[in-house]
Structure 1
Amino acid sequence: MQSAVPELAHTHTRPIHWLATATALAGVVALSSVLQPNPATAAQPTGPDTKSAPVTTAAPATTGVDFPLECGPVKALVQKKASGDLDGDGRPETVAVVHCDSAMGTPPDAVYVLTQGAGATTARVVATLVEPRDRLTVTGISVEDGAVLATYLGYSSADVPSCCPDVKDSAKWQWKDKRFIRSTPAGVHSV
């Protein structure tokens, strides 16, 4: 029985077909890199009836920051971060969860608050909320309503092996009287 559809001439690809396809694709990519739309702007026209919005500042980046963390031959690794205005000055700060980039085990986390002054090229650490010696593993970090919220795993005693945290808890820090005050946690929960 013969097919009702005649054999198509292009059912067998040859190297020339692949070369033509690659050339056409390269041409499209090259042309698209030349023909770009104008950058989008969110600026509103100003006039006598419009008010200019306050200038917002980007949150400090964690790259290039000298964290006060002793890591020996390995680097400090930013594991998590969150940003928001913590001191009410209208400029955001960044909260960074950092630990040593160890190839084995789970190194303890530290939590730092970063700020960046006008004209500065990198951010700087202005507060330490959690020290590595606390032996905590931060599982979540956020900034809400000017407060730093963290969830973490820890240990009920120094006898608990580092591999097996047995406590799950949370903490909240609020800027007050020119320092971060930690509020009393709701309670300790066993893991």
Structure 2
Amino acid sequence: MQQSAVPELAHTQTRPIHWVATATAVAGVVALSSVVQPGSATAAQTAPATRTQSAPAAAAPPSTTGVAFPLQCGPVKAIVVKKTTGDLDGDGRPETVAVVHCDAPMGTPPDGVYVLTRSAGSPKPRVVATLVDPKDRFTVTDFAIREGTVAATLLGYSSDDVPSCCPDVKTPATWRWNGSAFLRSTPAGAHSV
């Protein structure tokens, strides 16, 4: 057997003092790491002379507050029950589409659906289109704007004999701006409820 060129190690047996020294060293590293923190990380490096230019702020959609909707409510007021926003005409400014009805104390008042816009220089919104007229006696559900198209489900009546509480016709409808007006399309198969 060949003898080792390195003398025997004196620390081949651990003693309690070795564990105390190791624990003290680990505690020192942990304490030091909590005091010394690295800088915040970034996903991309920026060059020192690089300037960033912010995009122009998006135009805020028209508010429904204070708008005179073309709705005859008598002694009660008109209330906005649903609204959604989106760019319907592709001009980069959002429009607001609102479902409005009279705040009737009883029954189910018919809904009107109105498109609001605001001219570039005017802060006041205005009604530019009526998609559903309240005199047609529809209640609007499933209301949304998807890819520049207004979509809704219209609950209506097959005749004047059907009580207002119980619409019996359910019709999906969509409206899309064609450059001069909103065109309504109704998928085939409107059905009774």
Higher mean C-alpha displacement, 152-161 vs 93-102: 152-161
Alignment of 1:41-120 (within 5 A): 50-120=52-122
CA deviation digits over 1:24-45, x for unaligned, max 9? Answer: xxxxxxxxxxxxxxxxxxxxxx
Gaps of at least 5 residues in structure 1 are 1-46
The equivalent position to 2:162 in structure 1, one of 160, 163, 175, is 160
State the alpha-carbon separation in 1 of the partners of residues 189 and 166 from structure 2: 20
Structure 1 partner of 2:139: 137
1:160 shift after superposition: 1.2
CA RMSD of aligned residues (A): 1.5
List, as ranges, runs of 4+ consecutive aligned residues in structure 1 with deviation greater than 3 Å. 47-52
TM-score for the superposition, normalised by structure 2: 0.71
Structure 1 partner of 2:30: none
1:148 aligns with 2:150: yes
Structure 2 partner of 1:124: 126
Does the aligned pair in 2 maintain the 1:115–1:125 contact within 8 Å?
yes
Structure 2 partner of 1:177: 179
CA deviation digits over 1:78-135, x for unaligned, max 9? Answer: 0101100000000000000000000011100000000012343331100000001110
Gaps of at least 5 residues in structure 2 are 1-48
Does the aligned pair in 1 maintain the 2:62–2:125 contact within 8 Å?
yes
CA deviation digits over 1:158-190, x for unaligned, max 9? Answer: 221111100112100000031100113232122
Aligned with 2:105: secondary structure?
Answer: coil
State the alpha-carbon separation in 2 of the partners of residues 174 and 139 from structure 1: 18
Aligned with 1:160: secondary structure?
Answer: coil
State the alpha-carbon separation in 1 of the partners of residues 81 and 165 from structure 2: 18
1:51 shift after superposition: 4.4
Does the aligned pair in 1 maintain the 2:175–2:185 contact within 8 Å?
yes
Aligned with 1:88: secondary structure?
Answer: coil
Does the aligned pair in 2 maintain the 1:99–1:108 contact within 8 Å?
yes
Aligned with 2:135: secondary structure?
Answer: helix
TM-score for the superposition, normalised by structure 1: 0.71
Does the aligned pair in 2 maintain the 1:170–1:186 contact within 8 Å?
no
How many aligned positions are there? Answer: 145
